Amino acid sequence: MATVQHAVHDAQGAYEPSLFGTYSKKVGMWLFLASDSLTFGALLFAYSYGRISNPSWPTPFGKESILNATIMTACLLSSSLTMVLAVMAANRGDKAWTRNWLLATMFFGAAFTVLHAMEWTRLIADKMTPSGNRWSSVPLFGGTFFTLTGMHMLHVTIGVIYLGVIALRKKFLPILLALWLLGWLLTPATSVFHIGIHVLLIGAIVSAVVLFLKPKDYDANDVEVSGLYWHFVDLVWMFIFPLVYLMSTKVS
Amino acid sequence: MHDVSAAHGESKATYLWVWAALLLLTAVEVVLAYKQVLAPVRMLEVLLVLSVIKAGLITMYFMHLKSEVPRMRWLLTISVSACFALMWIFFFRDADRIITLGVK
């Protein structure tokens, strides 16, 4: 009798409505994003503290850099639009358009990363390092800039891989490996991206583990949860762009 | 499965308007910064206000936070905002003090 009562109690518990009125995967992603926002928050505050408390803080971002960063912002904002359209298509059950919009989002994300890498290359060629720069005697500028924007670039790259897995599943693995190999062979050995490109290899290994250990057809909920991550990456840039670039604009 | 479409109820036109508003706010930020019409601290405050508006649009419409149950919406908003408020109090008052005291 006691066993039967216990079984009934368990069955009721299993169907107890969610405290937050939604599925647990989405709540989990929101909690992750809340914690990740504090990571970015700390980095942003560190940069901004340095910016306003140092009268000799360098302002190296001229017209070219600001234009580049504005295009990058437009890329991310457009990627958010295509992402939300992918979620809409997934809700309709339209698999073809879900994949198309996800691929468009990945394109904008990849464009953002390439433009950002070009900006980094330009700054590094201009003798900017994490511990110094030629514009001022404030070493914190390079350290906080590279940490903050590097962290964001890593998030965008992980986001593109995440969306690739959702959109193409196992078909994405050879594409990712080909991109890694091309990137590794085409970047000069002295470039920071010659090492940084290995993020794609690590991403391919992790994606392969996920795809082979738990193969599934990703549904509308999976698309929505991946969208939350992507929009968050966009949201963070809405703070990095003004605080880092626009607050250090060079007056010509 | 959780019915996502029923919960959101936003149209494609709404998303396009939000996207256009975000682009417009970005343009305003760029013009303000490039013209450098404000002092650094005032500029920081203005840019932060605009960024918070943009973040609000993204979370409410693109991330569909406004369609979530009030318990989740308020719990997330209040907890994250409280953490940032603490960061603001500790970091910026101190950074501002350095400028006010004239430390070079």
pLDDT digits (tens, 9 = 90+) for A100-118: 999 999 999 999 999 999 9
| The pLDDT value given to residue A12 | 54
Digit-coded pLDDT (tens) for B90-104: 777 776 666 666 554
Query: What mean pLDDT comes out for the span A196-200?
Result: 94
Q: Are residues B17 and B54 in the same domain?
A: yes
| The pLDDT value given to residue A34 | 93
- What is the tally of structural domains in chain B? 2
- The answer, yes or no, to whether residue A11 has pLDDT greater than 60, is no
- The answer, yes or no, to whether residue A145 has pLDDT greater than 70, is yes
- What is the tally of structural domains in chain A? 1
Cross-chain Cβ contact A221/B30 below 8 Å: no
The answer to whether position A6 is within a domain reads no
Percent of chain B with pLDDT over 90: 46
Helix/strand/coil percentages in chain B, nearest 5: 85, 0, 15
pTM of the model as a whole: 0.89
CATH number at residue A30: 1.20.120.80
Q: Are residues B56 and B17 in the same domain?
A: yes
The answer to whether position A51 is within a domain reads yes
Q: Are residues B33 and B1 in the same domain?
A: yes
The ipTM (two decimal places) reads: 0.86
- The answer, yes or no, to whether residue A1 has pLDDT greater than 50, is no
| The pLDDT value given to residue A14 | 64
The answer to whether position A48 is within a domain reads yes
Cross-chain Cβ contact B88/A37 below 8 Å: no
| Chain B nearest CA to A13, separation (Å) | 18
Q: Are residues B51 and B93 in the same domain?
A: no
Q: Which member of B2, B15, B26 has the closest CB to residue A73?
A: B26
Q: How far apart are CA B94 and CA B40, in angstroms?
A: 15
pLDDT class for A132, splitting at 50, 70, 90? confident
Window from A242-246, B4-8, B37-41 with minimum mean pLDDT: B4-8
Please indicate whether residue A25 or residue B88 has the higher confidence score (pLDDT): A25
Query: What mean pLDDT comes out for the span A20-35?
Result: 91
Q: Are residues B18 and B2 in the same domain?
A: yes
Q: Are residues B40 and B58 in the same domain?
A: yes
Q: Are residues B19 and B46 in the same domain?
A: yes
Cross-chain Cβ contact A243/B48 below 8 Å: yes
Residues of chain A with C-beta less than 8 angstroms from the C-beta of B13? none
Domain limits for position B5? 1-67
Window from A51-55, A163-167, B11-15 with minimum mean pLDDT: A51-55
Burial A192-209 (b: 16+ CB within 10 A, else e): ebeebbebbbebbeebbe
Q: Are residues B2 and B53 in the same domain?
A: yes
Digit-coded pLDDT (tens) for A37-57: 999 999 998 888 888 778 788
The answer to whether position A60 is within a domain reads yes
Window from A32-36, A92-96, B76-80, B94-98 with minimum mean pLDDT: B94-98
The answer to whether position A1 is within a domain reads no
| The pLDDT value given to residue A6 | 47
Q: How far apart are CA B51 and CA A213, in angstroms?
A: 41
Q: Are residues B91 and B46 in the same domain?
A: no
Cβ of residue B54 closer than 8 Å to a chain A Cβ: yes
How many Cβ contacts (< 8 angstroms) between chains A and B? 156
Cross-chain Cβ contact A20/B71 below 8 Å: yes
Q: Are residues B90 and B63 in the same domain?
A: no
Q: If you ran DSSP here, which 8-state letter would residue B22 be given? A: H
Cα A173 from chain centroid (whole Å): 19
Cβ of residue B70 closer than 8 Å to a chain A Cβ: no
pLDDT class for A209, splitting at 50, 70, 90? very high
- The answer, yes or no, to whether residue B23 has pLDDT greater than 90, is yes
What is the residue-averaged pLDDT of chain A? Answer: 89
Q: Are residues B85 and B36 in the same domain?
A: no
Through-space distance between the first and last CA atoms of chain A, rounded to whole angstroms: 85
| The pLDDT value given to residue B57 | 96
Domain limits for position A80? 26-248
Q: How far apart are CA A228 and CA A239, in angstroms?
A: 17
Cross-chain Cβ contact A242/B47 below 8 Å: yes
Most confident range (mean pLDDT) of A137-146, A149-158, B69-78 is A149-158
Q: Which member of A219, A235, A247 has the closest CB to residue B1?
A: A219
Q: How far apart are CA A174 and CA A171, in angstroms?
A: 7
Cross-chain Cβ contact A74/B87 below 8 Å: no
Cross-chain Cβ contact B26/A251 below 8 Å: no
| Chain A nearest CA to B60, separation (Å) | 11
Q: Are residues B7 and B21 in the same domain?
A: yes
